Amino acid sequence: MITWLANPERFTRVFAPIRPYIGGLAAVLFVWGLYLCFASPEDYQQGDTVRIMYLHVPAAWMAMMVYLIMGIASFFGLIFRHALADAAAKAAAPIGAVFTALALITGSLWGKPMWGTWWEWDGRMTSVLVLFLFYIGYIALHASIDDEVRAAKSTAILALVGLVNLPVIKFSVDWWNTLHQGASVVRMDGPTIAPDMLWPLLVMALAFKALFVWLWLVRIDAEIITRRYRTLRARLSFQ
Amino acid sequence: MSTKINAAPHAALSLLKRDLGLSLTRGGGPLLAVGFYLTLMAMIPLSLGSDSGTLSRVAPGLTWLSLALASLLSLERLFERDYEDGLFDILRLGPLPMEVIALLKCLAQWMGTGLMLAVLTPFVMIILGAPVDAAFISLIAAILGSLSFAIIGGVGASLSLGTRKGGVLIALLVLPFYVPPVIFGAGLMQAYLTGAPVVQALSLLSAYALFALALGPIAMGAALKSALS
């Protein structure tokens, strides 16, 4: 399946018609999710500020998921030399950086009323900040290598080296063990979060995912077109 | 084939010797990093005030920060000159795989500068107000930490080879990966100074160094090959 889709031409043909529907799905999910956010009850401790969670948590999930996707795409690009995988990794990076920034900003806004501070240097926040810096390093490395093939290869190596970072994010929570709360949705004994709050959270998470897929497909397509343009221009200049 | 196998240890040794000699003599050698380290150390009381209570509290952390920053300095020269004058193309024809070449170059650089910085670390910490009996543990920790810094730094240096952005790009790529050793190293000193057991931090620090030692060469080899192609 992946090999079959690795042909850029075929990829465009398959996904170009689907793309608007994914964008539409994202829009519908956002409207539904935002409605649920405001229809859901206030938290007995946190009041209205709990609604920041419905943006903060999905953004933080996406920050890590996009990173994982980048790592997988880089792996395929590096090992199987699929040009499309390189394009996919490159296209995902700025989106992931924005989600990470969003997670940090909403977290900071939420932290002020809850913990009484804009920023707390605990394990999880710090490692998300490091993840953000890592995204920036990735984008900077890609931008500073002119040759497209080399840039793809170097950034793929960097992304795989950076996958080390994901376990460290999880691990650092245990090691520093400060006031950031532990996991409360994905647990062995079922979610401890109230169902009234779980629903908007899940819908928002799906909305974020659909948004990502839509943006990602648009960016991959733009990358394919840019490459085609570059090849055509190179070919013309030789004539 | 058999001559090739026999040639490998010899080639490795001579490469290590050559690189160690160069890193000790070329362009001022370790003096650059050592000078930077000491200057940074001198800036700390100047910026935080000379109150000995404050200084001794922040001494371990700031020493580790200075160590990480000083380790960045020599990275730009690690592969750049050999890449430009074509030495890698010659080394490639020899018996050593690129991964080993990269590892040897990193180790030579580490012995040339990283170890010097590690030896200085206890002195810096004591001058900043840490107790004298912390000297030994801080030396061990600094040796392990500077080894991780050197190898991860090598990965960054090999990735940014030929990008003409050099130093700043390496710093941006490498510093996120310096986070774990800085946490564990500074945490180790903090634990020691407060009387808590240091075994956990020390083993995590060693684990990270070994991890870098095992995986770093693979990444460096791949990056160097891609830069040379």
**What is the predicted ipTM?**
0.82
Question: What amino acid occupies position A63?
Answer: A
Residue A173 pLDDT exceeds 60: no
State the pTM of this model. Answer: 0.83
Closest CA to A186 of A61, A46, A101, A53: A61
> What burial class does residue B73 get, using C-beta atoms within 10 Å of its C-beta: 0-12 exposed, 13-18 middle, 19+ buried?
buried
Which chain A residues are closer than 8 Å to B164 by Cβ? Answer: 144
Residue A94 pLDDT exceeds 90: yes
Question: pLDDT tens for residues B45-76?
Answer: 888 877 878 888 888 888 888 888 888 888 88
Residue A225 pLDDT exceeds 80: yes
Place of tokens 């990470």: A100
Give the pLDDT score at A122. 67
CB A114 within 8 A of CB A153: no
Q: Do A144 and B227 touch (CB under 8 A)?
A: no
> pLDDT band for position A113 (50/70/90)?
confident
CB B117 within 8 A of CB B141: no
Give the pLDDT score at A170. 56
Q: What is the mean pLDDT of chain A?
A: 80
Closest CA to B38 of B124, B122, B110, B113: B124
Which chain B residues are closer than 8 Å to A153 by Cβ? Answer: 222-223, 226
Average pLDDT over residues A56-60: 88
Q: Closest chain A residue to B178 measured between Cα atoms?
A: A130
Q: Closest chain A residue to B166 measured between Cα atoms?
A: A144
Q: How far is CA B82 from the centre of its chain?
A: 19
Q: Do A157 and B215 touch (CB under 8 A)?
A: no
Contacts of A48 (CB under 8 A, 6+ apart): A42
Average pLDDT over residues A36-46: 71
Q: Closest chain B residue to A133 measured between Cα atoms?
A: B176
> pLDDT band for position B148 (50/70/90)?
very high
Question: What distance in Å separates residue B151's CA from the closest CA in chain A?
Answer: 12
Closest CA to A12 of A209, A229, A224: A224
Helix (H, G, I), strand (E, B) or coil at A191: coil
Q: How far is CA B16 from the centre of its chain?
A: 16
- Judged by a CB distance cut-off of 8 A, whether residue A218 touches chain B is no
To test the contact with chain A by mutation, choose from B99, B173, B190 the residue with the greatest count of A C-beta atoms within 10 A, namely B173
Q: Do A158 and B159 touch (CB under 8 A)?
A: yes
Beta-carbon count within 10 A of B21 CB? 13
Give the pLDDT score at B153. 92
Which chain B residues are closer than 8 Å to A150 by Cβ? Answer: 226-227, 229
Q: Do A157 and B160 touch (CB under 8 A)?
A: no
Considering Cα of B159, then B165, then B167, then B170, what sign does the dihedral take?
negative
